[in-house]
Amino acid sequence: MAAKEDLYSKILPRRLRQNRAGSMKCSSSLDVLLSMGFPKPRALKALVSTGGRSVQAACDWLFSHVDDPFLDDPLPREYVLYLRPSGPLQNQLSHFWQQSRITCGKNKAHNIFPHITLCQFFMVSYISSHCNAMKQTSNVRAGDAASPRASKVHVEPHKKQLHVTLAYNFPSDHLPSLEKLAKGIEVKLGCDWLAVLFSRDIRFANHETLRVMYPYVPQNDDELELVPGDFVFMSPVDQNSTSEGWVYGTSLATGLSGLLPENYVSLADESDTWVFHASHSFFSCEASDKASKDRGLFDGLLDSRRPDSTSPGDTPSLSLICHPMQVLRISGGHSRQPKRTLFVCRHGERMDVVFGKHWLSLCSDSKGRYVRSNLNMPPSLPLWGAQRDYDMDAPITVFGSTQARLVGEALLESNTTIDFVYCSPALRCVQTAQNILKGLQQDSKLKVRVEPGLFEWTKWVCGSSMPAWIPPTDLAAAHFSVDTTYRPLIPVSKLTVSESYENYMSRSYQVTKDILSDCKNSGNNVLIVAHASSLEACTRQLQGRSPQSAKDFIQVVRKIPYLGFCSCEEQGDTGVWQLVDPPILPLTHGPNHSFDWRETLLQE
């Protein structure tokens, strides 16, 4: 046991996260896990396997792997350091990835996101922290010796000129189409190159990665339970004795292995299961200038070597698509993304959901004035008075405001530019949009356009009349950043209670199309802040897909949490839109019930 503990302590990348309050090391997470009773080797392995994100992530990993036969196996992980673009250039590369996949099908390059290879995967004998690992390996250049100072990490540097490979291992007849797509990449767009550190489980390095599409409950002891969203690793060697239509694989979520129906999974990208550990801006401004003079950092090559080619020299590179470029840094908030993108976001946590429909009585004094009775209630409410109908138009909680700011901050960190913001007239949506803009540091520049047509399905409205929403002029008087000159596409008078499902889907689709049409020549990115149902209603028909049944629609809506976020990109000038990965991570939180110290601590 001591040997295992020592090994994991050596390969544990101790995450160093900078924030306004200072820095926090992963060692504190280890202390918490140990205090919870987890054995040190398992705690260390959980932190390594989750990138040291949080105690909660490590706990979830441990609980899900409780039956994993390899839970106490001391095998180290493999690490790799890539140079990854962010900002407008990254968006164009991602567009090439998607279009080439649609036009020509998947090729080998699709297994990993767009990147510059700095080194090969390496085994780690000791990394004291992410920062040290990044510093030690960031000096690796093509042709340099792999000898990081004061380190036992052996890194094999990439021998070729630094470049982004756009495609390889594709049929030769696909080359003209790929070249045409590649020539559309504008390589002089602003870009901040980030060094990113990933790791993977060494056991599955040569396995196929499959994504679980449908749930499956085992019927026999040798079968594997499937949960949508999980990944399964499959080795061709293990398939010799399986029955037709069945494969043998290992679950990423649980570590368990077994047989599974082949038609319940689909092929996924290799990098989908990699664990992210840290990122670091690879260049200072001075370093960028020097590097651009020394060599071109982006030579996008189309390599038509067939899958059976084994040597880089078998077939020479056929086309130099992109000329050497100077590494440019994005000046925050002023660069434009080259493609039109629609972001749709649900509002933050509601007061009436947390404190019940009679929440007003909990925070009103004898004279009817608002007085918070819980820290999760906002210090004040906008325009508190007789004309407000908070019973039907509840505000968000303090935590709801925090959720929204986190989303805005994440958008800012990802260099995502928002050109227009539209929101439902519900107060919870207006407040959420305002706080997202605060996180984006755009609350004094961007004005929110309040659009009644974005309100949720009115069948869900309680009572016989629509809510009495706060008018934009009153919102502006209460210091909300709203556009008081905006004329709604669908006025409040056109909304009726208990509309049909078909009418709601038609309304949402039409108002979304009109919004995108109005913004077409003025900006690329539109953010809609509305309801859980809006993520489906505002994007489904935009993709050319027919509305699903009302029953299936409700099941989808139930799965969308507060601040659920999706991205939809326009595919060229075809008028077709497609859902893509959002530029920010998802936001997960757990319930926290009201605590009464008297009832709990004074009980006999």
> Going by C-beta distance under 8 Å and a sequence separation of 6 or more, which residues neighbour residue 536?
553, 556, 557, 560
Token pair, residue 340, equals 């039109």
Helix (H, G, I), strand (E, B) or coil at 370: strand
Three-state SS sequence of 102-139: HHHCCCHHHHCCCCEECECCEECCCCCCHHHHHHHHHC
Token pair, residue 86, equals 């962010």
Q: What percent of the residues of the chain are helix, what percent strand, and what percent coil, each to the nearest 5?
A: 35, 20, 50
> Going by C-beta distance under 8 Å and a sequence separation of 6 or more, which residues neighbour residue 467?
389, 392, 393, 426, 461
Token pair, residue 416, equals 């995502």
Catalytic one of 130, 207, 531, 540: 531
Instruction: Kindly write down the DSSP assignment for every residue of 72-113, as one continuous string.
Output: T--PPEEEEEEEEEESHHHHHHHHHHHHHHHHH---GGGGS-
Catalytic one of 65, 346, 350, 507: 346
Task: For residue 464, give the amino acid letter.
Answer: S
Query: Is position 428 annotated in a ligand binding site?
Result: yes
Scored b (16 or more CB within 10 A) or e, 308-321 reads: eeeeeeeeebebeb
Q: Which helix (H) or strand (E) holds 277?
A: strand 275-281
- Cα distances (Å, whole numbers) of residue 398 to 211, 372, 428, 435, 550: 37, 11, 11, 11, 33
Catalytic one of 110, 347, 350, 405: 347
Spatial separation of the C-alpha atoms in residues 343 and 440, rounded to whole Å:
14
Query: Catalytic residue at 163?
Result: no
Token pair, residue 526, equals 């539109």
Look-up of token digits 């997202």: 436
Helix (H, G, I), strand (E, B) or coil at 195: strand
Relative orientation angle of helices 398-413 and 427-440, to the nearest 10 degrees: 40
Helix (H, G, I), strand (E, B) or coil at 369: coil
Radius of gyration of the chain (CA): 27
- Cα distances (Å, whole numbers) of residue 151 to 117, 133, 140, 494: 21, 9, 14, 69
Spatial separation of the C-alpha atoms in residues 34 and 47, rounded to whole Å:
12
- Cα distances (Å, whole numbers) of residue 138 to 119, 130, 499: 10, 12, 59
Query: Catalytic residue at 158?
Result: no
What are the beta bridge partners of residue 210? 232, 267
Residue 346: closest CA among 389, 403, 419: 403
Annotated binding site for substrate: 428
Annotated binding site: 428
Catalytic residue numbers, as ranges: 346-347, 531
